[in-house]
Chains A and B, each alone.
Chain A
Amino acid sequence: MKKTEKWITNTIRIAGSSSIFFVMMIFIFLMREGIPALHDVSIGRLLSKRWYPIEDLYGILPLISGSLIVTITSMVIALPFGLGTAIYIGEIAPQGVKEILKPLVEVLAGIPSVVLGFIGILVLSPLMRTGLNLPTGLTALTGAILLALISIPTIVSIAEDALYAVPASYREAAYALGATQWQIIWQIVLPAARSGILNAVMLGVGRSLGETMAVMMVTGNAPTLFSGLEAFISPVRTMTATIASEMGEVASGSTHYRILFFIGIILFFFSLIINVASSSLSVRPKRGKDQVVS
């Protein structure tokens, strides 16, 4: 019996540490393929303003600015909707509504991003052009709206879990003191679930930074550098779309190939920063007696 147990424990241990192994391998691979780019192309050229690889112009600033513009805008859109939905599902909605809403949000999570991209091209982009009177509907904002749709389910389900983890005794105590429902949500539940909600936000950011297909289809992919507020309603090119659309053409080992991997390293570091930030901000919800009550 003891032997079987040991065997099972070891298997689980291997399975558990395998993800560390995979992350390490991916990191080493990215470094090995991408770092030589700095050898081929000077930092000054990498930080130039024009991306046009077939003429050896490898300025990655427009790509970084494109990714940031789209991600930040999508979060500005997704946060109110995501958190609002989570609060409604977790705190306000009656049981029946809750049981319909939660699976619906999960269905939204299951829609492949290429399908959303298709809807973006056919429906959203013409609407944006005529509605906002823009030269073209393929803009950063169009991409951001789709990304918001993609990241909202992540934000909702994690934030809702965080709200759920707030012990019911907190709410009961507040009610007993005569607090209104809004006061409870705003002053008791949200502060108590703070770390979990931050975590939800960070994962949403990560989701939208890494998304490729939908963004590639609707942002127009023009590598323009951020030049003021109109950048939000102009075409942009993101890092992920650049890698996806150019990786197929490059000869392996060429400068262009290395630079694409270098962009991959930048993306990797962006999401690393997001993850570290989210885990350092969030403290795991305590599981104690209170949990049993709820």
Chain B
Amino acid sequence: MKRKAAYICLLILCLFLSACLSTNQVNTNKEVSQNAYIENKGSDTLVNLALAWAEQYQKLHPEVQISVTGGGSGTGITALINGTITIANASRQIKPEEIESAEENGFEPIEFIVANDAIAVIVNPENPVDKLTLEQVSKIYKGEYTNWQDVGGEDRPIVKLSRETNSGTHVYFLETVIRLGSKEDKNIFSADTLLLPSSEGIISEVRDNPNAIGYDGLGYVSSDVKMVALAKEAGGDYILASAETVVSGDYPISRHLYMYTRGEPVGAERDYMDWILSSDAQGTITELGFVPYIKE
């Protein structure tokens, strides 16, 4: 009986050891056949674009493996600082605190502007409102206007939708639209603003709900929601978001999209970043509804 137990133990031990050995071997084989593995995470606004780039680049360079995940700009930058990824996507600029904690972890984040994006304010197609001033949008999100009648629409309650606070788009919208770019302004989203975990969540709620107003990157706006033309101030021209109006600077809420690396990129990462900034990759941007970044 005892001997039997001992045999079984020995057998299990052997199996365990051989399993360990074989996985080791697999790992080393992998390292030889794959020269590079780039992990890319962050902004949900950028995720579709980053995926398209990764696919194209892997076709050109099969030896490079690129994985792309979303989660929000804050999530991506935190992961870069914690060292779990090599390139972070962000739809906002890195904050001074984040640079500090990156330096505490022994590297300096290097910034690349990879594309431009417009933030579109969207409503349900049934909603007759098709133009707003930035101030009106700000008052809606601050909770000062609660009925569509206040901005010339039907007698319906306004349901405000926003991305979660870890989204770069959320922070950008807060600073540029709600606070109208003023640094002293300490207004925030009214507490009854719905914070949805994804861009798709916002689009689907706006599509179904005639009371809703939302905002999202231009690349996400589908044809079953209606974009609202925006004017910088009352009496100004109302302008719809498009690649042309962003490039000309007429559309009031557009921003850069960024990628950050851990220190100056080297090797495969360097090549990848150079390729993204080349005209080859920048062509993909327009196809996906974003606006290429043009160096001044």
CA distance A223 to B191 in the complex (A): 6
B218–chain A nearest beta-carbon distance, Å: 23
- Interface contact B195-A221, CB-CB below 8 Å: yes
Q: Which of A55, A57, A129, A216 contacts B209 (CB 8 A)?
A: A129
Task: Type the 1/0 row for B193-210, where 1 means its CB is closer than 8 Å to any CB of A.
Answer: 111110001001100110
Report B-chain residues with C-beta under 8 Å of the C-beta of A251: 78, 81, 97-98, 101
Q: Does B159 contact A (CB under 8 A)?
A: yes
- Give, as a whole number of angstroms, the nearest-CB distance from A289 to chain B: 38
In the complex, which residues of chain A have a beta carbon less than 8 angstroms from the beta carbon of B171? 54
* A246 with B164, Cβ < 8 A, contacts A121-B201, A135-B159, A251-B101 known: yes
CB of B222 within 8 Å of the partner chain? no
Cα–Cα distance between A245 and B72 once the two chains are bound (Å)? 10
On chain B, the residues within 8 Å of A54 by CB distance are 165, 171, 174
- Interface contact A246-B159, CB-CB below 8 Å: no
Q: Is the CB of B164 within 8 A of A138?
A: no
State whether B157 touches A135 (Cβ < 8 A): yes
Q: By the criterion CB–CB under 8 Å, are B72 and A248 in contact?
A: yes
Q: Is B30 an interface residue (CB 8 A)?
A: no
List of B residues within 8 angstroms of A221 by Cβ: 164, 194-197
Contact status B192-A235, CB under 8 Å: yes
Within 8 Å CB of B157, what residues of A? 135
Q: Is residue B238 contacting chain A, with contact meaning CB distance below 8 A?
A: no
A225 to B191 alpha-carbon distance, docked (Å): 9
Residue on B with the closest CB to A220?
B194
Interface flag for B211 (CB, 8 Å): yes
Smallest beta-carbon distance B170→chain A, Å: 8
**For residue B188, which residues in chain A have a CB less than 8 angstroms away from its CB?**
52, 55, 57
B125 on the interface (CB 8 Å rule)?
A: no
Q: Which residues of B contact A224 (CB under 8 A)?
A: 191-192
Give the shortest distance, in Å, between B129 (CB) and chain A (any CB): 16
Q: Mark B167-198, 1 if CB is under 8 A from A, else 0.
A: 00001001000000000001011011111110
B186 contacts A4, C-beta separation under 8 Å: no
Task: Judge whether B50 is part of the interface by a CB distance below 8 angstroms.
Answer: no
Contact present for A252 and B194 (CB under 8 Å) = no
B219 at the interface (CB under 8 A from A): no
**B-side contacts of A216, CB under 8 Å:** 197
Given known contacts A54-B171, A136-B209, A222-B195, A248 and B1 CB-to-CB distance under 8 angstroms: no
Q: Judge whether A1 and B1 touch: CB under 8 Å.
A: yes
Enumerate B1-16 residues with CB–CB distance to A below 8 Å.
Answer: 1-2, 5
Q: B166: CB under 8 A from chain A?
A: yes
> Is A171 positioned at the interface, with any CB of B under 8 Å from its CB?
no
In the complex the two chains form, what is the Cα distance from A4 to B4 in whole Å? 12
Task: List A contacts of B97 (CB < 8 A).
Answer: 251
Contacts of B116 in A (CB 8 A): none
Contact A235 B194, CB 8 Å, known A54-B165, A245-B164, A249-B75: yes
In the assembled complex, the CB of B6 is this many whole angstroms from the nearest CB of chain A, namely 11
Cα separation A96 to B85 with both chains bound (whole Å): 56
Taking the nearest CB of chain A, how far is it from the CB of B175, in angstroms?
Answer: 11
A38 on interface, CB distance cutoff 8 Å: no
B191 to chain A, nearest CB (A): 5
B5 touches A50 (CB 8 A): no
Q: A54-B165, A121-B204 are in contact. Are A4 and B1 (CB under 8 A)?
A: yes
* Shortest Cβ distance from B193 into A: residue: A222
Which residues of A have CB within 8 Å of B121?
A: none
Q: How long is the Cα–Cα vector from A237 to B71 in the complex, in angstroms?
A: 19
Does B72 contact A249, Cβ atoms closer than 8 Å?
Answer: yes
B189 close to A52 (CB less than 8 A): yes
Closest chain-A Cβ to B238's Cβ sits at a distance in Å of: 26
Chain A residues with CB under 8 A of B197: 216-217, 221, 245
B74 at the A interface (CB under 8 A): yes
Chain A residues lying within 8 Å of B195, measured Cβ to Cβ, are 220-223, 237, 245
0 or 1 for each of A39-50: is its CB under 8 Å from B? (1 = yes): 000000000011
Inter-chain contact A248/B201, CB cutoff 8 Å: no
Interface string of B46-78 (1 = CB under 8 A from A): 000000000000000000000000011011001
**Counting chain A CB atoms within 10 Å of each CB, which of B82, B156, B192 scores highest?**
B192
A230 → B minimal CB distance (Å)? 11
A250 at interface, CB cutoff 8 A: yes
Interface residue? A137 (CB, 8 A): yes
CB-contact partner of A4 in B2, B82, B191, B193, under 8 A: B2
Q: Do A62 and B191 have beta carbons less than 8 Å apart?
A: yes
Also in contact, A136 and B81, with CB within 8 A (given A249-B74, A251-B98, A251-B101) = no
Cβ of B230 within 8 Å of any chain A Cβ, yes or no, is no
Complex CA–CA separation, A245 to B167 (angstroms): 11
Q: List 6 A-B contacts (CB under 8 A).
A: A3-B2, A49-B191, A122-B204, A138-B194, A217-B197, A235-B194
Q: Residues of B at under 8 Å CB distance from A?
A: 1-2, 5, 71-72, 74-75, 78, 81-82, 97-98, 101, 156-159, 164-166, 171, 174, 186, 188-189, 191-197, 201, 204-205, 208-209, 211-212
Listed in ascending order, the chain A residues whose CB lies under 8 Å from chain B are 1, 3-4, 49-50, 52-55, 57, 62, 121-122, 125-126, 129, 135-138, 216-217, 220-225, 234-235, 237, 245-246, 248-252
Given contacts A121-B204, A220-B196, A251-B78, 15 further A-B contacts (CB under 8 A): A4-B2, A49-B191, A54-B174, A57-B188, A122-B204, A135-B157, A135-B211, A137-B209, A222-B194, A222-B195, A246-B166, A248-B71, A248-B75, A248-B78, A248-B166
